[in-house]
Amino acid sequence: MKTAGAKVRSVAAEVVDAVVSGGQSLDAAIARNEPRIAAEDRSLLRMLCYGSLRYYWRLQSWLDQLISKPLRKRDRVVNALLVVGLYQIAEMRIPDHAVVSETVEAARQLRRPKLAGLVNACLRRFVRENLAANEPTDEPSEWNHPAWLIEQIRKDWPDDWQAILTANNKRAPMWLRANISRNSAEQYRQRLREADMEAELLAGIPDAVRLKEPQAVENLPGFAAGDASVQDAAAQIAARWLLADLKPNEVTYRVLDACAAPGGKSGHLLEVGGDNLSLLAVDSDESRIMSISENLQRIGRDATIIAADASTPEEWWDGILFDGILLDAPCSASGVIRRHPDIKVLRRATDLVRLAACQQSMLEALWPLLAPGGTLLYVTCSVLAAENDEVTGKFLTEHSDAVENDVLPNNNIRDLMRRKVCGYQILPGSAGLDGFYYAALQKKKVS
């Protein structure tokens, strides 16, 4: 008999398998599959998928104890189904008998009826022998990270690696950015309270509001009208840092957002800069360009938006220098694993060399576009030195006209920032923030 509970579990298994075996991003796999289930079951689908990938290494280590030999390649979706089932038993408040029953039925819905007995036996044995109480036997299953990433984080952060890994396995809070052109963060917090939503502010990040409990955006007061946006507080540092020297009522300040999609930082730049700001937003992903337009339209702001490769400005630059450049460079995203646990599955150690080369190439290409005295703010959502201070440090060594401006936009964020050889790092979980790296590179004025 088909049930809604079995359906959502079968779809969750297909999503997890699409990530683990198919290399798809979790968000893309969910977006592709969630229309197949009822709207009221979609929050459960997300919980199952995110949780199964967040604890994937430990779940798989348990599964290895339950199955004597790996499943055939064509049945790998059942491996994912078992991971989903083990996650429910170990981490969710669902009765064991319900998990077993619905997961066994899900195997049938996945057109694997011959493996339903295996699913039943594995889950019942897991409960009977209380395998969840066993100590992890290796570091990946202990920390729920791939071995290479554990070693890299331990190398880069010898005193903090355990705290970073622990933070990565927790759910991230929901941060909002109050639209400063319409209301302050405190005013927006009051509006939230009037809607029975508790929130708090964070000293040093003046537009940030942290919700006590996540909310659907359609329920947030004034969201559709652009009074607030969803954006982690660590990401909100970028706009105010780059525009720290902007003076009201002066000539137009010309800024390039070089990797702009989906448009969160572009929107914040325009909210802070107001009528003094002329913004060019560039992104190479044509499928995401529309998201920039939609985000800016919602907050009532406008920018020039083009689909182009930031590393080849000769194809799109008009020759007029920029006063400021925001380079939110493509990276491993190792600082936002809390929000995207699939990163742990999808990234490889070999990616770092390729990404660092891309980051260096973008810096080299964009530097000539910056006016003397201007600032290029280099940003990543990574905690790895290979993408952060090693990249900016190398750039400064090779460019005599570049110097780091190490003055923070305000002293209240000093305790959140770890000083690196070049730039500053926020570690994931610090004050509830994502992991971000910042380095302000200033072009020397011609004497």
- Kindly list the catalytic residues: 381
Q: What is the CA radius of gyration of the chain?
A: 24
Q: Return the amino acid letter for 270.
A: L
How many whole angstroms from its chain centre is CA 368?
30
- Hunting for tokens 């400021």 — which residue is that? 324
CA distances from 336 to 248, 379, 417 (A): 34, 13, 16
**In this structure, are residues 228 and 188 in contact, taking their beta carbons and an 8 Å threshold?**
yes
